[in-house]
Amino acid sequence: MPRVAVAALVAVAFVVALLGARWRAWLEPTPEDTPPTSVIGPAALFATALPDLEGKLQPIGRWQGRVVVLNFWATWCAPCRREIPAFMRVRRKYAVKGVEFVGIAVDTAKNVSAYVREMGLDYPILVSDDAGMILANRAGDTSEGLPYTVILDRDGRIRTAHLGPYTEDVLEQRLLALLDDAQQHLPKSE
């Protein structure tokens, strides 16, 4: 085998080894989430506004008081598309408990609108370009990978952050833990 071919194979193997853990996170997510390392507080997060599918600015604060699953995604992202049906099922199951899903599509409005119609997405979708990735970065996504999901408590604090697709059961575990925690802090009735 020529030296150039051997050197190329070694270089490819080296790159695969370096990126292996990052790619595995997208392909086979672990049940552990990353600790929230956001640099954005609840007030700034709630004040952030992005356009909806009609182009009207919607502040994230619109959902204050609910547990919010804030998902950064794109139509061209296969892992993003795979987790959306689970998000819709979990949303329907937990909406009565004050849970809302909000998708922030890092894509064009045209692509997102077509995909929303095709999939029948039933939760709020905001559309962004670089602003969505900047917000994701401020919410702890320093790798700039998609999908990236943060779960906010009712006060807008980021309680968990997850890079890669969520499985339905892990997402439900995170929500139940947060809802149980919130229930424990409610005033006791006499």
What residues act catalytically?
Answer: 77, 80
Q: Are 37 and 157 in contact (CB under 8 A)?
A: no
158 by DSSP, 3-state: which?
strand
Q: What is the DSSP letter of 142?
A: T
Between the two ends of the chain, the Cα-to-Cα distance in Å is 81
Cα(128)–Cα(138) distance, integer angstroms: 15
27 by DSSP, 3-state: which?
helix
Q: Are 72 and 106 in contact (CB under 8 A)?
A: yes
Q: Angle formed by the axes of helices 78-94 and 109-119, to 10°?
A: 60
